[in-house]
Amino acid sequence: MIQPIIIMLVGLSWVSATLFFRHEIDPLYAQMPLMASLVILLVLLLHAIVLGGIGRNLGRPYLSRKGKKKSSQGIPPPSFSFVAIWSFIGFSAMLAGFAFRSYPGSLSLSLWILGGVTLLASLCFLLIPSQVHSENAEGEIIFKPNPVRMAPKAIYFWTSAIIYGGFFLISGATVSNTSGMVSLISMGTGAGWLLGATILSLVALFRMGIADEEHQTTKTNLLVPSEDFSQIAGNPEIKSEMAQILYQVTNAQKGVGTVPNGILLTGSSSVGRTIMARALAGEYKRPLYNLSLDSLLTVDSQTFENQWKGFLFKIKPFNPLIIYIENYGNFIRGIQGNPQGLHNVQTFLTRMAKNRTHLLIASADKADDLPKFFTSPPIINWIIPIPMPDFEMRKTLLGRFLMEEAKKNELLPGNVPLLTVEMVQGFDLGKLSALMEGFTAEDIREVVLHSSDYAQKLRRSLRQLDIDVAIRRKAQNWKDPTAGPMERVRARLTDETMAPFIIHRTSELFSNRQKKSHESILIIGRNRSIRRQIAMRLSELVSYTFMTTSDEKRLDGNEFRNLLLRARKHRPSTIFVDPVEELFPKVQLSNYGYHGELYNQKVMEISQANEDKNIWLIGGADDINKIDPFIARRFASVLDLAELGRSLFSELEEFALGKILEGIDPDKINFAEFDHTDEAASGDSAPEGAAEEAGSMHLLMAEPPAEALPGYPGRQDTQMEVRSVLEAGKYGIKKGGSGLLGAFLFAGPRGTGKLEAARAVASYLDQEKPSLVVRDMGLYSDRLFASMLLQRPLGSTAQSPLPVGIYTVLEERPDSVLFLDNIEQAHPSAWDFLMEYVTDGVISNGKKRLAVPKSTLILSTSLFSGDEMEEVKGGNRAAMILERLAEKNSRLSFLPVFGRELLNTLDLIVPFPTYTDADLIDMARRTVYETMISYLKGHPLKGVLDIDPEVPAFIAFQLDPTLVTLPQLQRKVQSLLLPALKSLDNAASTLTPESSLRIGIVDNQIQLTEGAPVATEKEPTVVTAGA
């Protein structure tokens, strides 16, 4: 490296020149001292900057240059011997300075500077570590040689700088008596060399040693536990004692002297001890480090020292902290036969106890059988027994473990959540905690895991009953105390006992399937009597005439044709074909032969019955495999009684189990309480004509079943779909979809009940103060008006043509239901807020953002016909809506409100086709019932009044399904019932409690007639073919 030699020669030349021409330079310096001093200072400063830059570059870690053919790999930091030699030289120079302190001039000062700089620079090399340590992915600390290298010429430059700097410093001090100018320049030159050496040493120290973070980083991430004492109920004495100990240790660590350390928590519950340690750390915001001592058992002294250094390295960023050793007692007992391991652990714990940065907490079942050294100072200073969880502690632990399970967000088949936070909040934890007397924390966790596994096997959400059973089983060492009683319950659940429940459950599932002509039902089950009762019950619920063949006759083509003819005369009617396999057996093609023509005729006849809107086709069979597959596919729904029976059997078992746990004898369990219906449990159908008392006159008309959306008759499928979305939003279990309580698109022609459905939604969500906000988006077809949809501008008067902005409405009632009608007529800019509102439940007026996740949005459009909505109902609704839009008007399909992303984000697209006959009959029946109840409450009459079941159908058939609306239907019912009500009012004075009247159809009019004597039960009409 020739660079230092050149710089040294340059410095030597100007010092020599100054000395040789001192007689000319000194007078010049005397004449212009300021100018001369400035020039000298600039030259020396430039010299020092050059040398300092060289030292800085050579002090940085060396990177080999791949472009060169010969590339050196750099050199390691100076060895200890190198540092020792130069430190001795520096120390000697400082001693020489003391020896020459009486010498005139600045020789002693120069020697002190030289010795001090040499000693400082060499000691910097000594601080550069020869090894570095890092943490691997497993958390193990690894020591390895320092990988950082110095430049190959760095030591050469440093040595040269010390030698040249010393030479110029001493030379300048020597000639100080001869020429002050020469002495100043020479000493300045020497100071520049020493500056370069010092910068090299300092840069090397910081870049290769204490500031090298690349090779000395810890991957350990300690967090403050989320628990604190407020979340862990019970045991106040223990909490207070632990808090006092931590306060005492913290104060002692701030002072001087021995610091007491080490808490040993004893008790039978490992989880309970761990929770107390975590709660202490969380209460005082201390990180918690779980320490394992297994790695110390088989290491030698050198590895032990490395592990100790690595441990300190890992915890250093988190001081002060709490170190926790779980199962400390079991570990110490297990290593007593290993002297080397015992010694290592003892040494390690002793050093930890003396460390002033942390508090040590250990956990053991008991302390009596442990070596005294490991349960006494300096390792352990306090022993605190943790008792069995008390009532409040058990309640807290149970809630904690259930919340841990809920946060896993496990979903069962059908996207059913196994456990949610809302479910946990609904459990009676106090009742469950009282059952767990004597349980440890481990027992409570085991109970939660066992009950969760049980619910998963049943493919349903976890219930409080599951936890109750698991607690009782755990109390008996997982011997089921309910096994014997449950066997007695299962013996009671025979086919005869199950039959009424199956019939009742089937009627709930399929009572609305008559609404479309193709929604026929095929009932599969081995009990023909139950199949027949189900069909009769379904027919009775919809007031259809029930028709079937007698059991004595074989079901052939003639009998089936006779049945069809009679059904057409008594429409609306239900045809029950059983067994279907007699009429349409599964045959081989080779046997088709001649009777294929007759077979095809039967197929045509059953197809005609299936397509007749006033005939509900129900089939029955023992085994679906015995039926021609072509015919089986003609039925819209298949009801497997065996599968339904298994599901009901499980539900009845669970019901009985709850009663057994309440202490009820298995033989005395009243299954009438199951499903909250006496009708199903008793096996007796409630009479269709059960008396409804209104005033003193009894109305023999069955109250229509409650709607899914109260106050909205008809469209039962639509009501159930909308209600399911709203319930999922209310209970916080909705997965995917919008960020609102519910977001819907109501699509269908005018007069199909979209606004009435929106009113029913608002009433369902808030029965006391429903908040429905209706906006006709046709008002916002102009861009200016569209900008006022969210909020009217300041200064708007009450006479403004536009209503209050929906942002203002939602500020006052965040749970409002927004019904935006005629969405296709609004200006596109009106929908700028819509995507964020639907997705995140946030609405913005440009200045403020308002979170309204409890609101409900209903978009409504009348672009589509009833037939189009009938097609959309059974397919991918979003895709089919877009397809219909593209066919109608391609421009509409590009509106933001009809965007594909928005339609897929909505919770439900609800098609509103034209009302079917069944819908109209249902609406008419409900309107007739409400009208009669209202009339009788205002007129104190006597006797019994019956309503002919044909009256609702008579009213419905006089309406045009494409034009009818609910108000029109109500007015039609009132006008048709008015003659009968007038006659009833005229006859009021002659009525007695024994009077029996009937409103029926006479001469194509609804009139009041004399009724038949009142029966306690009304049987459904059964018309047998051929009778």
The whole-number pLDDT of residue 604 equals: 75
CA separation for the pair 970, 981 (Å, rounded): 15
Q: For residue 552, give the 3-state DSSP assignment.
A: coil
CA separation for the pair 360, 363 (Å, rounded): 10
CA separation for the pair 389, 387 (Å, rounded): 6
Cβ atoms of residues 429 and 396 within 8 Å? no
List Cα–Cα distances, 915 to 570, 722, 974, in angstroms: 22, 18, 20
CA separation for the pair 17, 743 (Å, rounded): 95
For residue 686, give the DSSP letter.
P
For residue 150, give the DSSP letter.
B
369 backbone φψ class: left, alpha, beta (φ>0; ψ -120 to 50):
alpha
Q: CB-side exposure of 907: number of CA atoms within 13 Å?
A: 23
- CB within 8 Å of 417: residues ≥ 6 apart: 409, 410, 411, 423, 461, 733
CA separation for the pair 190, 14 (Å, rounded): 13
Which letter, b or e, does each residue of 221-243 get, where b requires 16 or more Cβ atoms within 10 Å of its Cβ? ebebbebbbeebbbbeebbeebe
- CB within 8 Å of 177: residues ≥ 6 apart: 104, 105
The whole-number pLDDT of residue 928 equals: 86
Q: Is 303 exposed, middle or buried (0-12, 13-18, 19+ CB in 10 A)?
A: middle
Beta bridge partners of 911: 747
Q: For residue 703, give the 3-state DSSP assignment.
A: coil
For residue 62, give the DSSP letter.
P
Q: Tell me how far the alpha carbon of residue 341 is from its chain's centroid.
A: 47
The whole-number pLDDT of residue 324 equals: 92
Domains of the chain: 3-208 (no CATH), 236-387 (3.40.50.300), 415-481 (no CATH), 496-643 (3.40.50.300), 650-682 (no CATH), 716-914 (3.40.50.300), 924-1024 (1.10.8)
Quote the Cα angle for 209-215-220, to 5°. Answer: 120
Tokens 């027919």 -> residue:
539
Q: Could you read off the pLDDT of 202-251 as tens digits, one per residue?
A: 888 887 765 444 444 454 556 788 788 877 777 788 888 888 888 888 88
Cβ atoms of residues 770 and 732 within 8 Å? no
CA separation for the pair 746, 737 (Å, rounded): 16
Cβ atoms of residues 451 and 466 within 8 Å? yes
For residue 142, give the DSSP letter.
E
Residues of the chain with pLDDT under 70: 1, 22-26, 28-30, 63-72, 104-105, 130-145, 209-222, 414, 478-483, 510-518, 551-554, 557, 586-601, 675-696, 792-802, 874-875, 889-891, 893, 960-966, 1011-1027
Q: Measure the CA dihedral 638/639/640/645, to 10°.
A: 170
Quote the Cα angle for 327-331-332, to 5°. Answer: 120
CA separation for the pair 204, 950 (Å, rounded): 104
Q: For residue 440, give the 3-state DSSP assignment.
A: coil
